[in-house]
Structure 1
C-alpha cells in the first residue's frame, strides 16, 4: 500500500508539474505566437504575371513560382497521397498526434535513431509559415502551440489547402500548382496518379527526392508514396502495380508562355516596380494585362528576325564560329586532332545556348551542293543548295566575294555553325547577326501598343531599341515638316523648285542633295513628299523658318531638346526613338490628335480586383471611331488634344499614300513612283507610308499606317554612325530573291514592315478614306498645279483645304523654264 501511495503521489505531482510546464511555456512564448487575424491572412509570395490583351501569358517575375489552388481544385488522389504519406491520422488529431509521438519515441528507443517523424501536417504548416527551419527545442515548442492554435481557428480543409499551397517543392516551386507546372508543364488537374505521387513525395526532402536532380531516388520515393496509399486503402492492388511501373516523365518546365514578348515584359516590370516597389511587385501576385495583341506580337518578332537575316545574308557569310577539328589534316593518333564522335559533338552543343531562331550545329559531311549537320539535340539534318547558295564570302559591309559553286567553298567538316528553319521547315545555314532592328505598332486612336520588339534576341541583349534608342530619323521627319508648310500657306499642288541648293556660312558650305541625285525642277508638293525630295523639304522649311519649324514639330510630342535648331532638321538630323516616331505619326492616321502611348491596360491583384485601369487619350472621342473588336478596349477614356486640323492630317496622309502608289500615267510617259512603292506588296490601298534614310544609311526607317494601325520599323547598327553599306548582285539568286545596291529605308527597313503587316492584314479593318468637310477636290494640270479644263492624262484631281484651291487656269499661265526660274527665285526658296 505504501508503494502505491508513493506512485500515486509521483503521478499526481508529475502531471501537475507537466501542466505547470506547459502553462509556463505557453506564457513564455505567448507574445511570439501569431494572432488569429495573422493566421487567417497568410500571404503567399506569388509572382507577377504579364499577359497580352487576350490573356495569353507573356512572362512572370518573382523568386518563388506559385499558382494557388482551391480545395475543390485539388485532385482527391493527391490529397490521399499527401495524407497517407505525411499524416495518416490528419482528420483524427487536434494538431498534435499523441499516437504518432509515442510511435516515434518507441522507434527511437528501439533503434537508437529517428526512423519516423512525429510532425503532423498542421505542425509542418506552422513551421513553414510562421517559423524558421532550425532544430532548436524552443522552435519545436512554438511549433506545437501554433499547431494547436491553427486547429482551433481553421477547418481541416482550410489547413490542408494552405499547406499544399505553401510548402516548397524544389526548383523555386512553392505549392502544388507551381509544382505541376515546373515538373510537368501542366495544370494540377491534368496529372496522372504516378505524377501526383511523385509530387507528393518531394516535400520530404526537396533536393534528395527531386525528379530532375535525382530521378532514381525520386522514383523510389514515389513508390513509397504509392505503397502508403495502397496500405491505407486509397488505391487497389492493380492500380498500385500499374502506377509503380510507370516511367519518370518529369522535366524542368519554365512558365507556360504562349506569347513571347520579353521586351514588353521588361518594360512592364520597370513600370510595376516604380508603381508598387520591388518587393510588392514581385510577391503580391499582380496580374498585368497589356495592350499587346498576341498575333501581332508574334508577327512583329518574326518580321524583325527575318528582316535581320535577310540583311545579314545579302552581305555575305562570315564563316563558321570555329572548327572543332581539321578535316584536311586529321591526326588519328591524337585525340585533339581526331574527328569528333557524335556523342562528343552532342555534349558540346548542349552547352551552347540558342540565339533567337538560330541553333548551333556541327558540319559532319560536305557533299557537292549539300551538307549534313548534327544539330543541337542530336538530330542529323541536311541543308540543301537552296539554303546554302546565298553564302558568298563577307569581305566588308560594302563588299562581298564571288558566289559559291560548291558547298566546300562555304564550309568544311568540323565547322561549328548556326542553322535555322526556313518557312518550309527545312534547315538553312545562318550566322549570328551583327545588325539590329526594332518594330513597334500602335493603335493611332487611343495609343495602345499592339506589338513591340526591341531587338533580335532579348536573352542576349536587353537593350530596347524602341524606347531607349534615339537615332537620326532621316526622311521620316518630312511629313511633319510638310504638315507645317500646309499650315503656312502651301498646298499639295504648290510648285517647289527641285534643284540643287548651296548655302555658304563663313568658311563652310552646305549642299543638301537628293538621293538619288536627280532633280525635276518645279515639282508639286504631293510628289515632293512622295518621292522624298530633300531640297524641296529644305525650301519648304525655309518658308517657316527654323525656330517656327522646331516649335511646330513639338506639337507631335517631340521634345524640343531632341530637335536641332538649324536647317538640317528638315532632312531628319533629329535623333528620336521609334516609340516617339510612331506616336507622332499617329496624328496623321487619326485625323489630327496627339495620343499617348499606352502599354498597360489594367492591373489586377491576387483576388482579381482591378487596382489600376488605364485612362487613355482617345482621338475623335466625340465621333466614336468604328474599329473592329480586335483593336478595342473597355478602359477609361478622355479626349486627346487636337494638334493639327483634320484637313491637314488628310492631305499628308494622301501624299504619303502616293509614296506607296505613285502617280501619273506610265503609258503616257508621266508616271512616277514614290519611295515606298515596295509596300504595295501588302495589297492594301488604304495604307500610307514614309521611308527614312540618314547619311551613309547609318539609320533606315519606314513608318506606315491606316486608320487602325501605325507601325514603325528601324534597322541599323547599335554603334551610331556605322553605315549599313551596300551589296552587289548575287548570281546564285534570282531577281525576286534579293535586293542589291545601297541600303536605304526602302530596301532595308520597309521589307520588315511589309512582312509584319502582311501576316496580320486580315485582322486590320479596311479603312475607308473619308473626305473631311473642309476639303474640296478640283482638276488641276499635272505640271503647274493650276486649274485645267482638260480631262486627259495631263490632268488629275487634287485635294485642297477650302479656300486654298487655285483660281487660275493653266491656259492663263506661261510655264517657266529652268533658266528663267533662276531670276524669279528669291534667296533660292523656289516657291511658286
Structure 2
C-alpha cells in the first residue's frame, strides 16, 4: 500500500472539513428576501425622495419669484448695473394663452417624453449616461422639463439644492402636486429668454412685438430654441445663430410628425428683422459693455447658466472705465459723426478701447442704438481693407529682418497670376514707410508675394486671426477675407504693435464673488506672449505715426502721440457702378491705449452704402480718445532703431525691341522675330491672346534664339503677341515688348498655278503681298518672380476694374458673392477667387 503524498487530494480530504452544499430551497429563500429587502429599500428611498421634495416645496415655494440680482462693478469698485430688474422683466401667461404649437416645439426640443414620465425620465438618463461614457465626458443631459423647473425655482436656495438627487425629489413632488399643463405653463413663464426677460410672453413682445396667440411657426420655433443658451440664441444678439438653432427645432418637430416638410422648409427660410418699436427691458447704463461682461462670465464659469448668473447674487468686478465709456456713448449718440442715410436704416458703428499693457477693456460701443437693437457690432466680422496690411504684409516683412521702413518696394502695375491689383499711385518704387503712409495697394501685395503667403498668414495667426482655405491668396494683403474680422480682434492685434511686440489677453472681468463674498473666479493676469521682435513693433509704430501725421489717417490726430491705420472696403455689389464703400476703419493707439473703430451699414445694398471713406472713422477715434484720456499723461512711444538708407530695387532687363509678327499664308503660320537683349544666357517668353480672349496666356517658354513660329492658328482669327526677356543669372525679367497684332484672312487662299514670270528688267522691284502689321503699346507689365507660396503669374492678365474715391482701400465681403475692393487710393474691385492659390 502506497502512502498518500503530502498535499494530495486524499490527504486534504482527510484533514479538512467536508463542504456543505446549499439546497435549492435555501437559494430560493435567500434570493427572495434579497429582492424583498431591495424593494422595501426602494420604496423607502422613493418615499424619502417624495417627502424631501414635498418639504422643499412647502418651505421654499415663495422662491419661485424671488431672486437676488447679481451686481456689476467698474474698475474702481463702483456699482454700475444689476443684471435683473425684478419688476419689469416678467409677464406670465395662462395655459390657454400659450399656442399649442409653441408647447409642442418646446417639448420636442427639451423633453420629448414629457407626457410619459413622472418627473424623472430614466430612459433619457440611461441614454445620456451611455453617450457620456462613449464620449468620456458629459455630452448630453438627462434633465426633464420638470427637473429644469425644479432647478430654476430654487435658484436662490442653498447650492445643495442643485444636487441631482434633490432636484429629482423636487421634480417628483411637482409631478404629484401639479398637472402636466400646470408644469409646462409654469416652466414657460419661468424660463429665462435672454435680454433680461423671463417667460415666453415677455419674450414674444420683446423679440417680435406680438402677443403669444399671434406668433407664426418660425417665431415659435425661435423661442423654443432659446432656453438652452438664451444669450447665444436670441435673435437680437445673434440673428444668424438664432436662425440655425430654429432650424434644429423645426427638424425635431418634423421628425416627430408635428409639422409637414413644407411647413418646416418655409419656417426655416425666414430672416429675422427686429421690430422698429422694440423696447429694451434692461435699463442699466452701458448695455454693450454689460452684455459683453455677461458673455465673458459664462465663458469663465461654464458650469452655470445665464439665469443662475443673473439672479445668483454674484458680485462681478470689471475693467470698465466710466470716463471712457461715457465718451464713447456721447460721440456715438451724436448724429453729426455719421453719414446721413436715405431712410431710417442708420449708418452704424462700433468701437473697442483697451489698455494694451494688460488687456483690460476700457469701453465698448456696440452701435448707435445698441439699447434698442442689441446687436453688439464690436464682435461682428467685417472686411478690414487696408487696416490689414500691417498685420499680414508689412509686419511679417519687418519680422524677417530683411526689410525696414526705408526698404524700397516695387510699385508698378503688374499681375500675380490672374490677380491684377492696381491703385492710383502705381508707378515708381516707394519706401515701405511711404507705402504705409499713403496706403498704397501694389507694394502691399508685392510685399506679401515676396515674403510668401504662409509667412504672412502665420504672423497674422499669432495675432489672433483665423483663415479659411479660400483665403489663401494674395487678396488678404488688402483685407480680402471670407469672413472678415471684428473690431475687438483688430484692437487686440494692434495692441501688440503698441506693446513692444507682446500680445496680452483682452478681458473685461477682474473677479467674481458669490453671495458669501468668496471668489469663484479671478483673472490670473496676462503675462503676455511675445509675438514679434521689439524692433518689428517699433518700426511699425514709426510708420503708423506717419499715417496720422501726414498720411491717410490725419483726422485721427490729437494732442498726444498717435499711431494707426485706416481701412476701407468697396461695396462689392454685382452690377452696381459706384465708388461707394461698404466698411471704413481706423485702428490706432496712444502710448497707453489701443482702439478700433468701424463704421458701415448692417446690411449693404445699393441704397445703403457709404459715400465717404475712412476719414470719418479716424475722426471718431480722435473725438472719443481725446475725451476718454483727458487727465492722463501723454507718454511717448519706444524709439525705433535707426534705419539704413533706402536700398534700390534690382535693375530690370532692358525692354525687348524690334518685335515683329508676319503671317505666311503659304505655310499657314505666323513668323515672330525680335532683337536680342543684352547679356549672356538670356531666354525669352512669348505671350499670345486671341481677339475674343480676356487675357494674354503664355505661348512659348525658354526660347533661346530671337525667332519663333506660331502654327496653331485658325482662319478668320486675330492674334496679339508680345515677348519678355528673362535672365536666369539675376532672376530678373524685362518689361513687355510692344504688342503686335496679326489678322488671319477669313477665306482659304487659292494659289494659282505658278507660271514662269519674265525676268525683271533692271530697276524693277517685286513686293510680296503681306498682311499689315499693327503695333500697339504694351498691355500689361511683367511679373517679378513670385515669393513663397505663389504660382508664376503670367504678365498682362486682365482684371475687372471698379473706380473709387479718396483713400478708399477696398475689399468687400466675399461671402456676399461680390468683388473684393482693394486698397486706399485706387479702389479696384478684385475677385478673391482669382487670387494665387497656395500649393
Q: TM-score, normalised by structure 1?
A: 0.45
How high is the TM-score relative to the length of structure 2?
Answer: 0.44
